């Protein structure tokens, strides 16, 4: 699959996989924190097969995208990159964002003078204006736990199984290499450690997230483009109450509650997730 390059807010290189007809309407997949563009399973191809021109991007500091030399991994940086990518396309795309990718997309639209110039639609995957601290803390603990790397792919698989005990352990560990890099005989997650050790958690150590809830609520209230909220029913990050609150803020939003999925909805139930996204895209077409 060819790698496409975008430029982010600061001229930083953003890597992306690309699929679908050249004249198809664009859709941009934006992964969660600590993931890469490979986190979507078959979603990019499913979108392309439906006639959309899909891009799955690596956020700054993740995957094959450029690391921020100043360690700027604030929400302003991520949302600025999303806006820059969207505005560079021939027409406004549908933004499909999981976790951090969803929050970044929401803020990008909330900051826009004309939302329709940035995106024609938004899919937020297991994230909303009100999320559970226990869920975000568990993600943070998982990312910090092995920041010094792993001795083997088996150790990586053990760590993932501990975080996602409901997901079957893969029979082959080769797929893990897409999210890792080998260096000096050890395997490291394919993201900049400064994402965790830098501005993500400082200078104000009392902050528990990248952006204040009030900013997310303001952005949600401003939302005018069509929206789909997807929740993993087993999620410890987006509760039923959090989803209901988001739907109150965005009354025109559609909603999909995916049974058997946790926070990593696309990875847990890829077929069901794809179906929900494709139905939403069909409604826009």
Domain finish residue from 144, 166, 192? 192
Q: 89 with 202, same domain?
A: yes
Band of the pLDDT at 1, cuts 50, 70, 90? low
Reply yes or no on whether the pLDDT at 7 is more than 50: yes
Reply yes or no on whether the pLDDT at 82 is more than 60: yes
User: What's the rounded mean pLDDT across residues 30-57?
Assistant: 97
Range of the domain at 155: 135-192
Reply yes or no on whether the pLDDT at 199 is more than 80: no
How many other C-beta atoms can be found within 10 angstroms of the C-beta atom of residue 186?
14
Model pLDDT for residues 168-194, shown as the tens digit of each residue:
887 888 888 888 999 988 999 999 999
Reply yes or no on whether the pLDDT at 206 is more than 70: no
What pLDDT score was predicted for residue 2?
Answer: 63
What is d(CA 65, CA 7) in angstroms, rounded to the nearest whole number? 10
Q: 248 with 211, same domain?
A: yes
Q: 60 and 14 in contact (C-beta within 8 Å)?
A: yes
Q: 155 with 245, same domain?
A: no
**Of 31-35, 196-200, 281-285, the least confident:** 196-200
What is d(CA 83, CA 17) in angstroms, rounded to the nearest whole number? 18
Model pLDDT for residues 95-125, shown as the tens digit of each residue:
999 999 999 999 999 999 999 999 999 999 9
CB contact set of 274 (below 8 Å; sequence gap of 6+) = 41, 42, 43, 46
Domain count, the chain: 2
CA angle 188, 178, 107 (to 5 degrees): 90
Question: Which of left, alpha, beta for 185 (phi over 0: left; psi -120 to 50: alpha)?
Answer: left
User: What's the rounded mean pLDDT across residues 65-91?
Assistant: 95
Reply yes or no on whether the pLDDT at 147 is more than 50: yes
User: What's the rounded mean pLDDT across residues 182-211?
Assistant: 69
Q: 88 with 147, same domain?
A: no
Q: 113 with 179, same domain?
A: no
pTM for the full model? 0.93
Q: Indicate which CATH number applies to the domain containing 73.
A: 3.40.50.1820
Q: 64 with 202, same domain?
A: yes
Q: How big is the chain, counted in residues?
A: 285
């Amino acid at each position: 699959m060819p790698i496409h390059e975008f430029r982010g807010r600061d001229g930083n290189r953003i890597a992306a996989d690309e699929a679908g007809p050249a004249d198809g309407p664009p859709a941009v997949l934006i992964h969660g924190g600590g993931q890469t563009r490979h986190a979507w399973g078959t979603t990019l191809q499913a979108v392309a097969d439906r006639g959309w021109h899909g891009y799955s991007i690596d956020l700054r500091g993740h995957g094959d995208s450029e690391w921020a030399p100043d360690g700027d991994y604030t929400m302003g940086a991520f949302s600025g990159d999303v806006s820059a990518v969207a505005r560079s396309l021939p027409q406004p795309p549908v933004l499909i964002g999981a976790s951090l990718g969803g929050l970044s997309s929401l803020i990008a639209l909330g900051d826009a003078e004309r939302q329709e110039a940035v995106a024609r639609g938004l899919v937020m995957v297991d994230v909303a204006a009100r999320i559970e601290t226990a869920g975000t803390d568990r993600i943070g603990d998982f990312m910090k736990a092995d920041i010094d790397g792993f001795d083997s792919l088996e150790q990586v698989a053990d760590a993932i199984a501990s975080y996602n005990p409901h997901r079957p352990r893969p029979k082959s560990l080769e797929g893990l290499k897409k999210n890792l890099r080998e260096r000096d005989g050890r395997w490291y997650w394919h993201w900049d450690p400064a994402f965790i050790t830098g501005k993500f958690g400082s200078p104000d150590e009392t902050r528990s997230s990248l952006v204040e809830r009030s900013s997310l609520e303001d952005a949600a209230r401003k939302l005018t483009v069509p929206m789909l909220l997807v929740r993993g029913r087993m999620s410890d990050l987006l509760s039923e109450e959090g989803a209901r609150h988001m739907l109150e803020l965005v009354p025109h939003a559609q909603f999909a509650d995916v049974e058997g999925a946790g926070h990593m909805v696309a990875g847990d139930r890829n077929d069901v997730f794809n179906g929900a996204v494709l139905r939403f895209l069909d409604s826009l077409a």
